[in-house]
Structure 1
Amino acid sequence: MSEPLFEAKGIEVTYGKASGLLGRGWKGVRVLHGVDISIRRGETIGIVGESGSGKTTLGRALLKLVPISGGSIRFDGQDITNMPAAAMRPLRRRMQMIFQDPMASLNPRHSIRQILTEPLFLHGLAKTREEAERQVRAILDRVSLLPVVLDRAPHELSGGQRQRVGIARAVLMKPDFVLADEIVSGLDVSTQAQVLNLLKALSQEMGLAMAFISHDLSVIRAVCDRVYVMRFGKVVEEGPCETVFDAPQSSYTRLLLDAIPLPEIDPDWLTRPAPALEPA
């Protein structure tokens, strides 16, 4: 079995201020309590739990978007726990995030062309405008968007189109890992299936490791290999999706499943021909 791409042990996150000599103590509210998590190359994991369970904080802690107050994080065998921002910069391209609200993550003053091409230059993935344009048009085709969107602003696109722009921006970086935080919660069912099917296909093509954060258990069961169930900042159960959902060991997992009943899974949900994508 391959070594984990991401491996976090004993992760703690405390919202507050560092205190004491050299800021080694923390005062505040602890929201993650010693969480262990591992993600292998090509694996898709789910992180589920009620609102306030700490699932989004865990995802952001893995990417070092929030500081941790305890524990360690390794990425591709490298300890990044206390790695300074300058040393982290080359790794940022390899770990991407797709946000729940694409409008909040897309600069409203920039065209889609600027949003997609500028990161290519920033990370040295394109040297000329022509090269960047070729890469962008190729990924637009892959996410089923027409080139006409390049000259539009984010507010001129539908929610599903904006989410596909967010996916395109992440994939253009040729990452090893993608964190998807509630990315289909605001979309209708048919658009959800299109977005999830697209991510599954891209993951298989590129060998991506992915983490899905979601409160929708049917989404997690449909697209993930393993699942972590969180409550009050702790992992209460972890295992293959089929095992956890069919025979949960934790009383909290059973309560969660009872509160949000899983529909009977249609095995063809993500592979059935979808309705035509809305025109760009």
Structure 2
Amino acid sequence: MAEDLLVAKGIEVTYGGGGLFGSRGHKVLHGVDLSIKRGETIGIVGESGSGKTTFGCALLRLVNTSAGTIHFDGMDITHLPDEQMRPLRRRMQMIFQDPMASLNPRHSIRRILVEPLLFHRVASNAADAEARVMSILDRFALPKIVLDRNAHELSGGQRQRIGIARAALLEPDFVLADEIVSGLDVSTQAQVLNLLKDLSRELGLALAFISHDLSVIRAVCDRVCVMRFGKVVEEGPCEQVFAAPQSGYTRALLDAIPLPEIDPEWLDRETLAELSS
């Protein structure tokens, strides 16, 4: 059985607080636990305001925790100083919901993809970095002409694939994907999700997939974590949770957004349709 790569216990996040009158601030996460094994994909679901994105950012140390511990590959990173976190950043990547917010609008796609490879010393030199970028463009069905374009000149699906490519090029161990197919058409969703599934399988990635779309979670995830008001109300294998939810809140979510009949081939079918169009 694969070992745990990321283990979070009792995670709390509090915004605000302190100041002149010593206010206690607003607690967003209330003692959240989660473990993710190497090669495992876990879905994190919940309504807006449930704390799922804050939790994801806490796992990556992008927001500070007010309580709890986070261990990555056996190392306690809960309060690790920035200079000691820096070498781990390559191994812990995030793919954002809006790629325009994470792709520098002033830089060409070539620069966006090549510079991280050199900065993190994944590529030995500029020629090596260029070769790696060319290879992943072929893998992601992206034309080489995109390298000389800026993010605003690409389609939404192309931008999202560039965001995934940038993360994958760094050969990470853990990837957090936050609502990355929201707003994309069905065929483009399928293509993006299949890319993630292939990368997870080939690289042995641990993947946390944040989404409000329960159908997407069921299609790509091994386990699901259901959050409400900053707490985990249910967690378990996707098939088990969706077939027989134990929490009233999970049942309410499923009733509010009925899942379609299971069609295990929809990802492959939609991807083929996109590639042949």
Q: Cα distance, 1:17 vs. partner?
A: 3.9
Identity %: 74
Whether 2:50 is the aligned partner of 1:53: answer yes
Q: Cα distance, 1:267 vs. partner?
A: 1.1
2:167 paired residue among 163, 166, 170: 170
Q: Cα distance, 1:126 vs. partner?
A: 1.9
The residue number in structure 1 matching 2:137 is: 140
Give the whole-Å Cα distance in 1 for the aligned partners of 2:63 and 2:111: 27
* Unmatched tracts of structure 2, length 5 or more: none
Deviations 1:112-153 (A, max 9, x none): 000000101110112322111001001111111111110001
The residue number in structure 2 matching 1:246 is: 243
The residue number in structure 2 matching 1:200 is: 197
The residue number in structure 1 matching 2:75 is: 78
Sort the Cα spacing of 1:26 and 1:114 in 2 relative to 1 into closer, same or farther, 3 A.
farther
Give the residue type in structure 2 aligned to 1:10. Answer: G
Give the residue type in structure 1 aligned to 2:42. Answer: I
| Root mean square deviation, CA, Å | 1.6
CA contact (8 A) 1:19 1:27 kept: no
The residue number in structure 1 matching 2:102 is: 105
Give the whole-Å Cα distance in 2 for the aligned partners of 1:41 and 1:214: 21
Whether 2:262 is the aligned partner of 1:265: answer yes
Whether 2:151 is the aligned partner of 1:154: answer yes
* Unmatched tracts of structure 1, length 5 or more: none
Q: Cα distance, 1:26 vs. partner?
A: 7.8
Give the whole-Å Cα distance in 2 for the aligned partners of 1:81 and 1:129: 35
The residue number in structure 2 matching 1:130 is: 127
Deviations 1:171-192 (A, max 9, x none): 0000001100000001000100
Matched pairs, number: 275
CA contact (8 A) 1:14 1:26 kept: no
Whether 2:36 is the aligned partner of 1:39: answer yes
Deviation >4 Å, runs of 4+: none
Q: Cα distance, 1:8 vs. partner?
A: 0.3
The residue number in structure 1 matching 2:273 is: 275
TM-score when scaled to structure 2?
0.96
Give the whole-Å Cα distance in 1 for the aligned partners of 2:212 and 2:242: 14
2:208 paired residue among 208, 211, 225: 211
Give the whole-Å Cα distance in 2 for the aligned partners of 1:140 and 1:17: 46
